[in-house]
Structure 1
Amino acid sequence: MGKFFLAFSLSSFFLLTSTSAIRAQEFPEVPANVMFGGLIVKFDNGAKNIIETDIRSLMANKRFWEDKMDRAVLYFPILEGVLIEEEVPLDFKYLALQESSLTPDAVSSSNAVGFWQFKEETAVELGLRVDNQIDERKNITSSTRAAARYLKRSNQQFNNWVSSLYSYYLGMGGISKLVPANWAYAREILLTSRTDRYVLRFFAHKIALEAGLERHRTANRIVLFEYPNSGGRSLDVIARDLELDPLELRRFNRWIETDVIPMDREYVVALPVGTPQINTVREKLMSARQSPGQEYNRDDIGFPVLRKASVQLKGRNDPVFYEINGLPGIQARPGDKSYDLAKAAKVSTGSFLKFNELSSRDPLVPGEVYYLAKKKKKAMVPFHTVREGETIRGISQIYGIRTKDLLKFNRISNRNLRLQTGRVMWLNKKRPSSSPIEIIEKGSNFPPATSTPVPMAENTSTEKATPEIPKNASERKKYSPKLADKIEEPVATTPEKKVDTKAPAQVSGGTGDRVVIITQEDRPDNSTFDSETKRNNRNRSTTPAETRTTATPSTPAPTPQRSNSGSHTVESGQTYYSISKLYGLEINDLLAWNNLTLNDKLAVGQRLVVSKSQAKPTSVSPAQPAQFTEHTVVSGETLFRISKNYGVSMEQIQQANGMSDTNVKLGQKLKIPRN
């Protein structure tokens, strides 16, 4: 009996120990550092302990945790799409989950509402509509764009995405004294146990979700599609046209309280689509986008070059074969799937998808001609000017060039990059690192695809075009390519381009790539478009041949020098925030002493007053009435309410008081402009 009891006790002990070990393995380990927004974020032991505690708290209730991950699977694709377009780090999608658990009608104790927990005045300031008909705080697309606008505005001030994350909790004014000055432009930062719990909890969400989503099997039976340009229609009509459940459609679009969606702006409807309906709904959405009123005219560039094949199948309902850009192709019929066209062409479905760079879930567009052979490494023409709505894959289909080569030629690393209308794309050789990205601003009248991009008209030398390449659109329509097995790819001769070094071009970090905008007069505009270049070059290593300057390890980077004369000369890379930290000032004081606002851009060499004794008081003529009314903030007031009470805009109050954000404090005295 004693032996039995001893054996039973030992078995129970080992069972409990094993169970504890299994449970311990369910929680992800907190690493020493993570990447976030281009930063290396390090954690000390105290921070790691707090993050680990938060992770355990998040995952303590298995049912609630799996529900959160299900909502993440549902909404993250939309969040990621918006963040990519707005050029905000994708990791901020975890912030939406932290704020609201991705519940559209979540309401906090302070009356913050929606996915990103905006108060009404903040939402209105960020461009959202909030009234008894529409509340865009509950719209996943609109509210994410508003959150991205706020985060970008914060990053412009602090030059650090972790600071932007912190400001989402306390406001830009609230963290100005809390964020270390050396965080601006930093490549790595250290978080400790003294770091605000809000920031550490965000990284707990990030670590837990990254680990959990890898092995999570979602219980979702739907996916969410975006339905833009919904103005003038009702949810019931949309549900009927797309054969969706109207009650489910309303459940995922609680932002609209009216029968008909207003037409004052573009509203995006979230479509809950059951997995069996995915292909059907996709085809309907694609057909709507390809309607005659919206389809772009391909004849204006002469591509793709189509010629009906001489040999066709004899059946009345069989698909039609074409020669497309010198390669064999087949035209999709309504209702066709990839399998149908592959079977008719006697190729495998996998090969068909590979030839056209499609996934098995991508619908086919009726009337579109698809390739039945590998696309080429080069196009027949050297350049293409992006038209509105065109994508990288779409351009690759038009010219029969592989997407990976198109990306390589244009130094683009993200195949989902949203192309700027008017951008000149290189089609048969790599754009030199010394050549700028060119944006042609000519409305919709872009030059034909073979036009050579010209940075400056007066510095352009012309050469005779290669005979094999059509010179204009009318000639290209008559151009018949040779058979696919004998086609010779002409090498286009690019006219020599001389870029005036005085042309306004902005160098983006990493490669020296520049952007030149060509206006209607074919001269560079004063504006630049380097957002795509910056994003594409973050992960691109610079080869020695491309390196402009070499940093000597023994020479430390120059540090900003503090002046004792009461004035400061602006140096390259400095901001209002970094200068105020250098002299231990408030940003509001720095702006007020220099009669500036945050909208005024600093210039290298500009002199700023950094001492109150040096500031010149503004004299007011006794004969003139006072231009401002003084207001003392009382409990419960916001800048939005104050502006409404006095009949002025929030921007006017901010400018009059040198405010960097909309936060006000109890007892704060504000100057209110008189109308």
Structure 2
Amino acid sequence: MSPRITMRKKKILKLTFSLLFILPLLTQAQTPQVPAELEFADMIIRINPQARREIQLDVDALYRNPSYFKVKLDRVNLFMPYVERELKAVGVPLDLKYLVIQESGLIADAVSTSNAVGFWQFKQGTAEEVFLRVDNQIDERKNIVTSSRGAGLYLKKHNNSFDNWVCALVSYQMGLGGAKSYFGNRYNGQKVMDIDRNSHWYFKKFLAHKIAFENQLAILTSSRQRLVEVKVQGPTNLSTLAKRYQVSEDHLKEMNKWTSNGRIPAGNFSLFYIEEVSPDYQPAVIKSQPEPKPSPEKATTTLAAGPMDAFPKIEGNTQRATQPNQITINNLDGVQAAKTTSVEQFADQVGIKERKLRRLNDLDSDESIEAGKYYYTQKKKPKAAVETHVVQAGETLWSISQKYGIKLSSLKAKNRIRKDRDLKAGMVLNLQDHRKRGEDIPIVKINQTQRVAQAKPEASSPTPAKEVSTPKSATPSAQSSQLSHTVSPGETLYAISKKYGVTVDQIKNWNQIGSQNIISVGQKLTIFKP
């Protein structure tokens, strides 16, 4: 055989091999190219040539294996409508949705080397900060809805410090303290940022995911499937729900890894399963579902009233509150004591060890269980659902911690107070943020009128409301100028307070905003600017 023929065969083999590698890529969309400028959130991002080459390498890597990219894209199209819904609900720009792809590839039970878990890769402590439940029954880090809501809250909180979504996004990886040290305040409020070789790698990696996936959503999918969310009321189990929704129990286990043992405790939860759709199916905008109406046979009620009297928030089968796995207390599993007894006997009744029951409820060794009181069977949280609590006569640190489901140690640490003898009626205790060192605890005057106003806010009249003493800082001075502020999308009370140089509590007081800090887009707020 001549050398020329041998060389020709080698070229043919080489060409064939190249085609085998290239053809699958050609069946996909062409690999997108990194632009010199793009929009991100409410900002303009300008990328210099060196950074563009760096980001392009990551984009190319995402497209390198067409089969792998297609599998990932299928997951993206399955879960992304719910990610978008939850980010939008908390006021986070939808561009940040690509971060979930970067973090986990939308794998529910993904675990990092640092033991971060779930869709958005939360560590347990951080998950609890954004009110995700993580225990031996439920891990909401593996629930696409609750984890996306938690990620949105986390990102939004960090953006309040920077007013810059690039810095907020990087702080997701570094932590708020690390990001503040890294960025300082030089980018605060900037709407145009330049990205170069010295820019943080995490944001450049994010841009690669945004560029790779933003034009591919809802196309190139290998199946016609959609993810269905239904609200279920516990206690129940996946076996029962599989029959109800006519899917296999194994399928429910695969799609609901947030429940580790197939059992769902008392409370409301989002359950997911996949259904096949017709070829002409067009995805609709996913809206938040209303809470399901309780079944009459379960007699489910919520015992809640005004801002303070809304706690503890008891939900579930309240007619069987003295039995385990029937109610939640502030969204945590709990039970009501039917009679006064010892901790040992009560622990036997609810089916947990005495030592654990004491630890969960911060009970000393010489304390007993009191009839009618509520006790937790799940670990309390480091923060409450509301910001502050006004101490009432006769309350103790323990009773306040039980009222809101906050750890007793956290309550003490946040307020730098250790003993019940240091409590005074009218003290405004922090339930979420730590009080600054040396900062005095404010005290407001309380009276019976205030208690009635809190219990029945809808029946209060202007006259009794004036009898309630408020902190001097909440009362506008004669020199204050009255302004009207219209709430814009994504704004928070904190951001508005910083804009006008007032406090969140002042805005809440002037506009009669409840303890949940709920404001809506377009709402008119009265501001007394000093």
Deviation at 1:33, TM superposition (A): 1.3
In structure 1, the residue matched to 2:521 is: 532
In structure 1, the residue matched to 2:484 is: 505
| Mapped pair 1:34 → 2:5 | no
Q: Distance in 2 between matches of 1:287 and 1:241?
A: 20
Amino acid at match of 1:253: N
In structure 1, the residue matched to 2:465 is: none
Deviation at 1:278, TM superposition (A): 12
In structure 1, the residue matched to 2:188 is: 184
In structure 2, do the counterparts of structure 1 residues 66 and 277 end up closer, same or farther at CA, with 3 Å as the change threshold?
closer
Deviation at 1:274, TM superposition (A): 2.5
In structure 2, the residue matched to 1:255 is: 258
Select which of 101, 125, 128 maps to 2:129.
Answer: 125
Q: Secondary structure of 1:238's match?
A: helix
In structure 1, the residue matched to 2:226 is: 223
In structure 2, the residue matched to 1:430 is: none
Amino acid at match of 1:171: G
Q: Secondary structure of 1:55's match?
A: helix
In structure 2, do the counterparts of structure 1 residues 531 and 179 end up closer, same or farther at CA, with 3 Å as the change threshold?
farther
Amino acid at match of 1:243: Q
Deviation at 1:262, TM superposition (A): 2.0
Flag the structure with larger Rg: 1
In structure 2, the residue matched to 1:454 is: none
Q: Secondary structure of 1:183's match?
A: coil
Deviation at 1:121, TM superposition (A): 1.4
Deviation at 1:237, TM superposition (A): 2.5
Amino acid at match of 2:93: P
Q: Deviations over 1:573-614 (max 9, x none)?
A: xxxxxxxxxxxxxxxxxxxxxxxxxxxxxx977xxxxxxxxx
Q: Contact 1:133–1:258 at 8 Å: present in 2 too?
A: yes
Q: Distance in 2 between matches of 1:242 and 1:15?
A: 50
Q: Contact 1:504–1:525 at 8 Å: present in 2 too?
A: no
Q: Distance in 2 between matches of 1:288 and 1:143?
A: 18
Q: Deviations over 1:58-110 (max 9, x none)?
A: 11111111111000000001111111111111122111111001000111111
Q: Distance in 2 between matches of 1:78 and 1:505?
A: 35
Q: Which runs of 5 or more structure 2 residues have no equivalent in the other structure? A: 297-455, 460-479, 490-495, 497-508
Q: Secondary structure of 1:51's match?
A: helix
Q: Distance in 2 between matches of 1:56 and 1:98?
A: 15
| Mapped pair 1:89 → 2:89 | no
Q: Distance in 2 between matches of 1:287 and 1:86?
A: 16
* Aligned-residue identity in percent: 31
In structure 1, the residue matched to 2:153 is: 149
Q: Distance in 2 between matches of 1:270 and 1:18?
A: 41
Q: Contact 2:119–2:147 at 8 Å: present in 1 too?
A: yes
Q: Deviations over 1:206-263 (max 9, x none)?
A: 00102333641x1234311221243333222222222223221221001112444222
In structure 2, do the counterparts of structure 1 residues 444 and 270 end up closer, same or farther at CA, with 3 Å as the change threshold?
farther
Q: Distance in 2 between matches of 1:287 and 1:168?
A: 30
Q: Distance in 2 between matches of 1:290 and 1:119?
A: 34
Q: Contact 2:237–2:263 at 8 Å: present in 1 too?
A: yes
In structure 2, the residue matched to 1:272 is: 274
In structure 2, do the counterparts of structure 1 residues 133 and 287 end up closer, same or farther at CA, with 3 Å as the change threshold?
closer
Deviation at 1:4, TM superposition (A): 10
Alignment of 1:175-574 (within 5 A): 175-179=179-183, 181-213=185-217, 215-216=219-220, 218-264=221-267, 266-275=268-277, 505-508=484-487, 525-527=511-513, 531-533=520-522
In structure 2, do the counterparts of structure 1 residues 256 and 291 end up closer, same or farther at CA, with 3 Å as the change threshold?
closer
In structure 2, the residue matched to 1:172 is: 176
Q: Contact 2:47–2:194 at 8 Å: present in 1 too?
A: yes
In structure 2, do the counterparts of structure 1 residues 212 and 132 end up closer, same or farther at CA, with 3 Å as the change threshold?
same
Q: Distance in 2 between matches of 1:444 and 1:241?
A: 41
In structure 1, the residue matched to 2:117 is: 113
Q: Deviations over 1:347-381 (max 9, x none)?
A: xxxxxxxxxxxxxxxxxxxxxxxxxxxxxxxxxxx
Amino acid at match of 1:249: L
Amino acid at match of 1:128: L
Select which of 76, 88, 107 maps to 2:80.
Answer: 76
Q: Contact 2:128–2:134 at 8 Å: present in 1 too?
A: yes
Q: Distance in 2 between matches of 1:128 and 1:119?
A: 11
In structure 2, do the counterparts of structure 1 residues 4 and 533 end up closer, same or farther at CA, with 3 Å as the change threshold?
farther
Q: Secondary structure of 1:34's match?
A: strand
Q: Distance in 2 between matches of 1:444 and 1:221?
A: 50
Q: Contact 2:224–2:277 at 8 Å: present in 1 too?
A: yes
Q: Contact 1:230–1:269 at 8 Å: present in 2 too?
A: no
Deviation at 1:51, TM superposition (A): 0.7
Amino acid at match of 1:85: A
Q: Contact 2:224–2:278 at 8 Å: present in 1 too?
A: no
Q: Deviations over 1:39-65 (max 9, x none)?
A: 011111111011100001111111111
**Number of aligned positions between the proteins:** 321
Q: Deviations over 1:639-660 (max 9, x none)?
A: xxxxxxxxxxxxxxxxxxxxxx
Q: Distance in 2 between matches of 1:133 and 1:33?
A: 47
Q: Contact 2:139–2:258 at 8 Å: present in 1 too?
A: yes
Q: Distance in 2 between matches of 1:45 and 1:604?
A: 47
Q: Secondary structure of 2:236's match?
A: coil
Q: Which runs of 5 or more structure 1 residues have no equivalent in the other structure? A: 294-442, 447-500, 516-522, 535-602, 606-675
Amino acid at match of 1:226: E
Deviation at 1:179, TM superposition (A): 1.7
Q: Contact 1:504–1:526 at 8 Å: present in 2 too?
A: no
Q: Distance in 1 between matches of 2:108 and 2:261?
A: 17
Q: Distance in 1 between matches of 2:140 and 2:289?
A: 26
In structure 2, do the counterparts of structure 1 residues 262 and 41 end up closer, same or farther at CA, with 3 Å as the change threshold?
same
Q: Distance in 2 between matches of 1:180 and 1:278?
A: 51
Q: Distance in 1 between matches of 2:107 and 2:88?
A: 22
Deviation at 1:139, TM superposition (A): 0.7
Q: Secondary structure of 2:82's match?
A: helix
Q: Contact 1:244–1:273 at 8 Å: present in 2 too?
A: no
Q: Secondary structure of 2:265's match?
A: coil
Deviation at 1:531, TM superposition (A): 4.5
In structure 1, the residue matched to 2:53 is: 49
Q: Distance in 1 between matches of 2:119 and 2:146?
A: 10
Amino acid at match of 2:275: V
Q: Contact 2:155–2:168 at 8 Å: present in 1 too?
A: yes
In structure 2, do the counterparts of structure 1 residues 215 and 524 end up closer, same or farther at CA, with 3 Å as the change threshold?
same
Q: Distance in 1 between matches of 2:246 and 2:190?
A: 52
Deviation at 1:127, TM superposition (A): 1.1
In structure 2, do the counterparts of structure 1 residues 62 and 184 end up closer, same or farther at CA, with 3 Å as the change threshold?
same
